Amino acid sequence: MTGLLRKSLCTIALSLAAVSAGNAATLVEPTLHLKPQGEGGGRVALTLDACGGKTDTRILSALVENRIPATVFVTGIWLKHNATALEIMRAHPDLFELENHGGRHIPAVDTPRKIYGISSAGSPDAVQAEVESGAAALASAGGPAPKWFRGATAEYSPSAIAMIRKLGFKIAGFSVNGDGGSLLGAKETARRIAAAKDGDVIIAHINQPTHAAGEGVVQGLLALKQKGMTFVRLDDAEDVGNDGTTTDRFNK
C-alpha cells in the first residue's frame, strides 16, 4: 500500500514537473490585425520599435514628408538619447502615436531564460517593473499615457500577458515582420512591407540608422502608399489580437 502510494505520488510529481517544464518552454508571439476595411485601397498600421540606440532619420523624414502615420514603441533607454527625434515626433501628433516598449528593453517573460540572446525579465515583479518604467519614461517625456505595450523581442509568457493586461495595457502583436529585427537587406524588407494587405499590422525598427533594412522600410512604405493603402495608428482602428492580448474585460 505504501509502495503503491509512493509510486502514485512519484507519478504525480513527474507529471507536474512535465507541466511546468512545458509552461517554461512555451512562449507566445501574438499576432495583431486591424479589422479589415473591405473597401478602397485597404488599411494597414505601421508600428516601429525604438529599442535603444539611435534614430533612423531616413525613416523619420520619409514619414513626415509623405504624411505616413505610425505607432512608435519607445523604450526608456531610447527616450534618454534621442531628444531631437522625439521633438520631431511630438511636433507631429497627427502622425506619431508613442507607445510603451519597456523601460530597459527586457523581454516580458516571467521565468529566467534567454530569447534571441537577451535575458528575460525572469520574474513577475521584473516584468511589472519593465512595463511600468517604460510608461513612466513616456510620462516624464511629457507625452500622453501609453495604452499599448510591446515587450522586447515581442515574445511573452502567457502569464506575463495576463499581468500586463491587468496593468491596463493592450499588447501589440503584429502580422507582417517587415525587417526581421532590422537584420534583413533593403530589398527583402521592401518586398515584405510592400506585400502588406488590408488589415495588416507591420513591425519594423526605427533605431538602426546604419542597417540596410531602413532603406527597405522607406521603399516598402512608399510602394504601399502609391498603391492607395491608408495608414492608421493602433489607436485609430479596431484592433484584434490573439492570445488574450487585446480582448478581455480590460479591453475598453
Residues that bind Zn ion (CB under 5 A): 49, 51, 152
Which of 50/229 has CB closer to Zn ion? 50
Which of 102/216 has CB closer to Zn ion? 102
Which of 108/229 has CB closer to Zn ion? 108
Which of 184/229 has CB closer to Zn ion? 184
Query: Least distance in Å: CB of 47 to Zn ion?
Result: 11
Q: Which residue is nearest to Zn ion (CB)?
A: 51
Which of 49/99 has CB closer to Zn ion? 49
Beta-bridged to residue 48, according to DSSP, are 72, 204
Query: Least distance in Å: CB of 20 to Zn ion?
Result: 28
Query: Least distance in Å: CB of 52 to Zn ion?
Result: 8
Query: Least distance in Å: CB of 102 to Zn ion?
Result: 8
Query: Least distance in Å: CB of 92 to Zn ion?
Result: 22
Beta-bridged to residue 201, according to DSSP, are 45
Which of 204/229 has CB closer to Zn ion? 204
Query: Least distance in Å: CB of 19 to Zn ion?
Result: 31
